[in-house]
């Protein structure tokens, strides 16, 4: 049964009654309809209290509206046409997605850079700061190595402490999408636009550029991007960022730190509804668990491989530990599969 479109009196007074409403696929955290107002298509989105253990619907609604309004400077997202905070309902510009393209990654990277460049220190009050990994995440990662009997190089605890300091978002004000996954990007005639800004934040854009290298850590569709395609997207991002801001960025060191941060976050092994509930890394030795078509151990092996290959000097001993852990996981569970490539992304 199609749920009634939740257009209250405030929005109805502006737009009139919705017509030709169609309920679209969405996460458990929201309900989304395509509608027509006065013969023009629009999107109606209502944020719900389901599927998020950390933030309630009003906070996520306010966060998404704020993120979308900042993104409209680009524009790198749909325009907010109307909002009803009491009902957690927003009316958004309808974007016509052109569909599948084989070269989707450069456009995605270019749009990420444009998104990140839209904000600065003057916008510090508009959104929360990005949530970095914590000491508990670092401790959990070290406990995983201990449980598996993998020797920890003596410098790793200090390297992890320094990593947490470098990942602190204080003083960094790039507009982060929060979940820049395939499926949250639409290819339009005006370029890539992002949707679903419920986790928008301010921080360092490299934590989202790192998604390509670390296999989209908050996404159900984990994919491995390596070699020339990876080099291309990182170069596209760096070039776009430099053109828009006039600033060079230490892409390699920053991405290495971001990837190490995603590695130690156990919650990046499970979907959002299961985060902030348990030590997910502690589950890895006793049970494999899937999210989408890929298992937690397979995600972890890929992330370990990425960090093991880093040449960033501040992560030297962590890279050694990552190599040891990766070897142990593959020796213990030899049937683990490599992650699929970017051609497998959902459309």
* For the chain, domain boundaries: 9-93, 104-344
Residue tagged 């444009």 (tokens): 114
Tell me how far apart the alpha carbons of residues 170 and 34 are, in angstroms, rounded to a whole number.
38
Query: Helix (H, G, I), strand (E, B), or coil: what is residue 155?
Result: coil
Tell me how far apart the alpha carbons of residues 283 and 48 are, in angstroms, rounded to a whole number.
29
Q: How high does pLDDT run on average in the chain?
A: 95
Q: What DSSP character marks residue 123?
A: G
CATH of domain 104-344: 3.90.1200
Give Cα separations from 252 to 59, 211, 258, 259, 330 (angstroms).
34, 13, 10, 11, 27
Helices 251-264 and 135-148: angle between axes, nearest 10 degrees: 70
Question: Given this model, what pLDDT does residue 53 score?
Answer: 60
Tell me how far apart the alpha carbons of residues 152 and 296 are, in angstroms, rounded to a whole number.
22
Residue with the larger pLDDT of the pair 103 and 105: 105
Average pLDDT, stretch 220-235? Answer: 96
Residues, the chain? 347
Across the strands, what pairs with 129? 202
What's the helix, strand, coil split of the chain in %, to 5? 45, 15, 40
Contact 229, 194 (CB under 8 A): no
Tokens, residue 8? 């209250």
Tell me how far apart the alpha carbons of residues 94 and 112 are, in angstroms, rounded to a whole number.
20
Asked which of 67-71, 152-156, 249-253 is least confident by mean pLDDT, the reply is 249-253
Handedness of CA 276, 277, 283, 287 (dihedral sign): negative
Residue with the larger pLDDT of the pair 203 and 247: 203
Architecture of domain 9-93: 2-Layer Sandwich (3.30)
Residue tagged 């959002």 (tokens): 272
Does 328 have pLDDT greater than 60?
Answer: yes
Q: pTM score, two decimals? A: 0.94
Question: Given this model, what pLDDT does residue 322 score?
Answer: 98
Closest Cα partner for 183 from 61, 24, 60, 302? 24
Average pLDDT, stretch 63-72? Answer: 98
Contact 187, 208 (CB under 8 A): no
Question: Given this model, what pLDDT does residue 51 score?
Answer: 59
């Amino acid at each position: 049964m199609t749920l009634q479109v939740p257009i209250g009196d405030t929005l109805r007074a502006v737009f009139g009654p919705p017509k030709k409403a169609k309920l679209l696929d969405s996460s458990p955290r929201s309900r989304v309809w395509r509608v027509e107002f006065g013969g023009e298509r629009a999107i109606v989105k209502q944020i719900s209290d389901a599927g998020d253990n950390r933030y309630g619907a009003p906070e996520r609604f306010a966060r998404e509206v704020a993120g979308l309004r900042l993104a409209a400077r680009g524009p790198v997202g749909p325009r907010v046409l109307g909002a009803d905070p009491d009902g957690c309902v927003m009316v958004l510009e309808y974007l016509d997605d052109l569909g599948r393209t084989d070269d989707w990654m450069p456009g995605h990277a270019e749009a990420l850079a444009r998104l990140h460049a839209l904000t600065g220190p003057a916008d510090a009050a508009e959104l929360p700061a990005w949530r970095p990994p914590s000491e508990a995440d670092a401790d959990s990662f070290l406990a995983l190595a201990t449980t598996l009997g993998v020797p920890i190089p003596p410098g790793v605890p200090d390297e992890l402490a320094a990593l947490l300091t470098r990942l602190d978002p204080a003083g960094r004000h790039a507009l982060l999408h929060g979940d820049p996954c395939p499926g949250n990007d639409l290819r339009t005639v005006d370029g890539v636009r992002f949707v679903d800004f419920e986790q928008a934040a301010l921080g360092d854009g490299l934590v989202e550029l790192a998604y390509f290298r670390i296999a989209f850590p908050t996404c159900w569709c984990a994919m491995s991007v390596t070699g020339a395609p990876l080099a291309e997207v990182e170069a596209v991002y760096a070039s776009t960022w430099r053109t828009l801001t006039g600033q060079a960025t230490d892409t390699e060191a920053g991405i290495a730190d971001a990837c190490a941060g995603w590695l130690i976050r156990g919650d990046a092994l499970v979907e959002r509804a299961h985060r902030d509930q348990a030590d997910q890394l502690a589950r890895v030795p006793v049970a494999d668990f899937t999210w989408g078509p890929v298992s937690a151990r397979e995600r972890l092996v890929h992330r370990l491989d990425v960090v093991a290959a880093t040449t960033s000097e501040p992560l030297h001993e962590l890279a050694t530990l990552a190599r040891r852990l990766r070897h142990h996981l593959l020796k213990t569970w030899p049937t683990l599969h490599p992650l699929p490539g970017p051609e497998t992304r959902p459309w």
